[in-house]
Chain A
Amino acid sequence: MSQNKKIKLATCSLAGCFGCHMSLLDIDEKLFSLLEKIEFDRTPFTDIKHCGPCDIGIVEGGVSNSENVHVLKEFREHCKVLVAIGACAITGGVPALRNNIDLWECFQEIYLYEGGTEGNQMPNDPELPLPLDKVYPIYEVVKVDYFLPGCPPSADTILKFITDLIAGKEPGLSYDMLHYD
């Protein structure tokens, strides 16, 4: 990657909790020096709605609905390097605990039977994305170049990883930077 031009970075959260994005912001003041080297494309912090051509794409969260599939494919198409960050992107994580549950039972319970629920109807509108039968890790849908484990990975881990990539190096993380909580 060129040293003169700013590196373009896109990030998104699919079926995640934004905790990995919080960990990215946990680099605190180092954000300012990072911003000298990178430029944000589509992220939850910018108003760019679609991912353009990027050097690095970081994806948090697993794939749980049709919208997630579209966003993930857009990222893969436009990002030279695609990174799965955090437990959910890598394995499906906590949201994948729904994978053993019948969906119909699940939404009957929530929208019809749960105490204090009124309306006697289900969400059912073309504007709502279709849920998938299961929550999938992102590598089952697109090719992934790197996996950064943790719930979430620490700020130091994320920063070291991005800094190595920007420098054109193969990212090297010490043992203590990798954890699987």
Chain B
Amino acid sequence: MSYKLETAAHPENLKRVVIEPVTRVEGHGKVTLLLDENNRVHQARFHIVEFRGFEKFVQGRPFWEVPVMVQRLCGICPVSHNLAACKAMDMIIGATVTPAADKLRRLMHMGQILQSHALHFFYLSSPDLLFGFDSGMSKRNIAGIAEAYPDVARQGVVLRKYGQEVIRITTGKRVHGTGTIPGGVNKNLSREERDYLLKEINQIIALSQSAVELIKTIYSARTDFHNSFGSYRSSFMSLVRENGALDLYHGGLRAKDEFNQTIFDHVDYSRYWDYIHEEVKSWSYMKFPFVRSNGKKEGWYRVGPLARVNNCDFIPTVLADKERKIFQEFSGGNATHATLAYHWARMIEMLHAAEVIQELLDDNDLQSDDLLSSGERQLRGVGVIEAPRGTLIHHYRINEDEQIVRANLIVATTHNNQAMNEAIRQVALQYLDGQKITEGLLNYIEVAIRAFDPCLSCATHAIGKMPLEVELFDVGGVLIQRLVKDSNGRYRD
């Protein structure tokens, strides 16, 4: 693993090429390339350009209010943020969640995984995979897919819709619902609701199976290209169940290095900071996490579908585990490191989510009224979950008045920060170095970023120490506010 291309030795005489904004991803990011007169790449960086400051402004709020605030980090995976925060609050109120509440939470989480994975594959990434990375820009979108591959577009819509319906029924709304509360959930699943969801589940499983077939067909049509595109070896981290099974809702942390050797395993996530720290770099608002025992430079890792499917010993549903074995055999029984294999792993997980939904819907516990619990109050809580994009960590401290005093969030996309930078540098060297830069070639860079399904809104922590002066004008061009930062970093009007 190298940091080649992170920083050019002599940036002053190089040309700057920018991709801004990175599109077909959620949130705000841009890529800058520095090239010399022969178009040799000297620097490639993926910058996260947004700040929001959730960790600061939740301070002082009552802890029970925070799960519905922090889900506003992300409109694509609000259920994941709400769940991670509520798991932390479970600790704070000393609750051991009832079996019924645990299953209802898992049900809404599987709805979240299903809809997010379908959104990413069909609405956002399928144009690259079906038309080609440098195909005409005007058709590289869901409208282009609807025209050229109407069945694929419809498949994506139906899968996403079902996931959203699971979320609506368990949380009250498709986006920013409120099903989970500290200590449990606020409603069960009625028989009518169960029957409504059961009606389509067989079709959803079949459509998920066909999605796995689709990505396998695409991948194996150009195996060498897909294996090598923006690829490198790395460590992986994910939650796994006690018996080593894939578990997206709860478990211990497992990390393996690039040679598949265990770095740590079944770690109690409430002490995550003993294992993971984050480095700040000047050119991105997003931090760079690393495994402490491997150090800042070598300690970075990947999370998300690829990490999870590689890391687990098995997937506890029949069809998805069969696909996991095929996926593993494809790499000769080893972990798969290819960047574009993320898409394949993601579709295996989507199938798993559909299977788990079917299992849960058949469980009578979902009609139970035993939904809430509490115990001895504590002042600290950590909640960790595998969100669609990877390991999501929420950590809160409260005071005796039940107000938040500290918060730390490490979201999935943040873990992948170095990995995404590594991927674009690989692509820059493989395909752009020394070439005439075209729009199509620049999309190659974005294809590498999209493989990770980054959620850049989620990933935004807080403000940076920026230079200077900001001016705000009204519609008529009249200056209404000017802000200047002085040499001490203080802002003044």
Contact = CB atoms under 8 A, between A and B. Distances in A.
Contacts of A107: 462-465
Contacts of B462: 106-107, 109-111
Nearest to B51: A131
Contacts of B421: none
Contacts of B443: 47
A44 B26 contact: yes
B72 A93 contact: yes
A46 B141 contact: yes
B37 interface: no
A29 interface: yes
B490 interface: yes
Given A110-B55, A136-B472, A151-B176, A124 B277 contact: no
Given A119-B281, A121-B282, A155-B174, A21 B141 contact: no
23 contacts: A15-B50, A18-B27, A19-B72, A22-B175, A25-B119, A26-B161, A46-B23, A47-B140, A48-B23, A64-B51, A64-B52, A101-B57, A110-B53, A117-B277, A118-B278, A122-B464, A124-B282, A124-B467, A128-B284, A131-B464, A141-B473, A181-B173, A181-B176
A40 B160 contact: no
B140 A65 contact: no
Interface in A100-125: 101-107, 109-111, 114-125
Contact of B283 (A16, A103, A127, A143): A127
B280 A132 contact: no
Contact of B137 (A17, A48, A98): A48
B75 A20 contact: yes
With most chain B CB atoms within 10 A of its CB, the pick from A101, A104, A105, A125 is A125
B157 A28 contact: yes
Given A28-B161, A45-B124, A47-B23, A19 B176 contact: yes
B132 interface: no
A95 B460 CA distance: 12
B279 interface: yes
Given A67-B28, A114-B408, A141 B174 contact: no
Contacts of A31: 142, 146, 157
Interface in B346-382: none
A104 B464 CA distance: 9
B141 A47 contact: yes
A130 B55 contact: no
A121 B278 CA distance: 12
B63 interface: no
B479 interface: no
Interface of B: 19-21, 23-28, 30, 32, 45, 47, 49-53, 55-57, 69, 72-76, 78, 119, 123-124, 137, 140-143, 146, 150, 153-154, 157-158, 160-161, 164, 173-176, 273, 276-285, 287, 296, 406, 408, 443, 446, 457, 461-468, 470, 472-475, 480-481, 483, 489-491
A40 B143 contact: yes
B146 A22 contact: no
Given A19-B76, A67-B49, 17 more contacts: A17-B457, A18-B74, A18-B75, A23-B75, A23-B175, A32-B153, A35-B143, A44-B23, A49-B23, A64-B51, A116-B276, A117-B278, A123-B282, A128-B283, A130-B467, A132-B483, A152-B175
B283 A125 contact: yes
A51 to B, nearest CB: 12
A13 B52 CA distance: 14
Question: Which 6 A-B residue pairs are closest in the complex by CB-CB distance?
Answer: A19-B75, A123-B464, A122-B465, A110-B462, A119-B280, A125-B283
Contacts of A64: 50-52
Contacts of B142: 31, 45
Given A109-B462, A123-B283, A152-B176, A133 B72 contact: no
With most chain B CB atoms within 10 A of its CB, the pick from A98, A152, A155 is A98
B72 A17 contact: yes
Given A40-B141, A47-B24, A123-B281, A114 B55 contact: yes
B467 to A, nearest CB: 7
A1 interface: no
B470 A133 contact: yes
Interface of A: 13, 15-23, 25-26, 28-29, 31-32, 35, 39-40, 44-49, 64-67, 69, 76, 93-95, 97-98, 101-107, 109-111, 114-125, 127-133, 136, 140-143, 151-152, 155, 181
B463 A106 contact: yes
Nearest to B160: A25
A151 B491 CA distance: 31
A18 B72 contact: no
With most chain B CB atoms within 10 A of its CB, the pick from A107, A116, A119 is A116
Nearest to A135: B52
Contacts of B446: 47
Contacts of B173: 181
Nearest to A29: B157
A2 B457 CA distance: 37
Contacts of A136: 472
B392 to A, nearest CB: 15
Nearest to B161: A28
Nearest to A117: B278
A127 B32 contact: yes
A119 to B, nearest CB: 4
A17 B75 contact: yes
